[in-house]
Amino acid sequence: MPNKAIVVGISAYPELLPVLQGPRNDAQKFYDWVTTKGGVTPVVDGKLIFGPTPPALAAVDGQPTAEALQREFDLLEDEARNGNGAVGDRLYLYLSGHGFGQNLDGAALLMANATALRPHHHVPGRLWADHFFANGYFPEVLLFLDCCRERYSTAALNGPGPDSAIPPAGARRFYGFATKYGKLAVERPINGQMSGVFTTTLLDALTGGASEEDGRVTGESLKASARQSAVGKLRRKGRPR
């Protein structure tokens, strides 16, 4: 079965500060990696979601919205239900932009139409990753969120709802967040281009930095490599995301 990827990068938020420059660059770089080294076929099994250029002037017209991402999730659900319950071998979810932390364990990406007073325009990455993992749609689920995890108060999360499914035997997952709960993610100029420190260290690890002696990349080697790479990059001041 194929690997699949949903990659989102939102730089333009009409009514949220600070202004971001890195998410679109980072999403493109991750998409380039996942469709060449990550086993995902471009166009057919990979989805790259940006906002329009030029961006909207008001948040009410901001794109992409949660509905755009929800459509991609719905397509995976339909594919699972129309088949034998499995959609592919591995799912990559990559989300970059402004975000917040709803609890100690999760993070949500704010969509382009979000404002400080309307944080309900968001996608909680971990809840959706858990949903696809627990229901066995993919034996492996990888989630990467390059966004802040400031504490936001929102009445409800735009997740899949209550989920009582139990992951099938042998299912595996790996979730990577740019920062700890309540903290800010950082972007800064790297190799002449504004980039998120987390995404840069992640791609450094995936492109060889995390390889073990036999060439494999494991969860532990990926964490160790990304952590070591991030130390040097964080010594210089960056801008919060």
CA distance 237 to 167: 41
Residue 230, pLDDT > 60, answer no
CA distance 102 to 106: 6
Selection from 51, 32, 52 nearest residue 42 by Cα: 32
Q: Do residues 53 and 28 lie in contact, with contact meaning Cβ atoms separated by under 8 Å?
A: no
Q: Which fold has domain 3-182?
A: Rossmann fold (3.40.50)
Q: What percent of the chain has pLDDT over 90?
A: 72
Residue 13, pLDDT > 80, answer yes
Domain boundaries, the chain: 3-182
Q: 2: Cβ–Cβ under 8 A, 6 or more apart, which residues? A: 39, 40, 41, 44, 45, 88, 89
Half-sphere exposure of 66 (CA within 13 A, CB side): 20
**Tell me, what's the pLDDT at 83?**
83
pTM recorded for the entire structure: 0.90
- Summarised one tens digit per residue, pLDDT across range 45-92 is 999 999 998 999 999 999 999 999 999 999 999 999 998 888 999 999
| Number of neighbouring beta carbons within 10 Å of residue 38 | 17
CA distance 12 to 16: 9
Residue 2, pLDDT > 90, answer yes
- Summarised one tens digit per residue, pLDDT across range 30-50 is 999 999 999 999 989 999 999
Q: Do residues 126 and 175 lie in contact, with contact meaning Cβ atoms separated by under 8 Å?
A: yes
CA distance 46 to 210: 24
Q: What share of the chain is helix, strand, coil (3-state, %, to 5)?
A: 30, 25, 45
Q: Do residues 27 and 42 lie in contact, with contact meaning Cβ atoms separated by under 8 Å?
A: no
DSSP code string of 140-204: EEEEEEES--EE---S---S-------PPTT-EEEEEESS-TT---EEEEETTEEEEHHHHHHHH
User: The tokens 């909680």 sit on which residue?
Assistant: 124
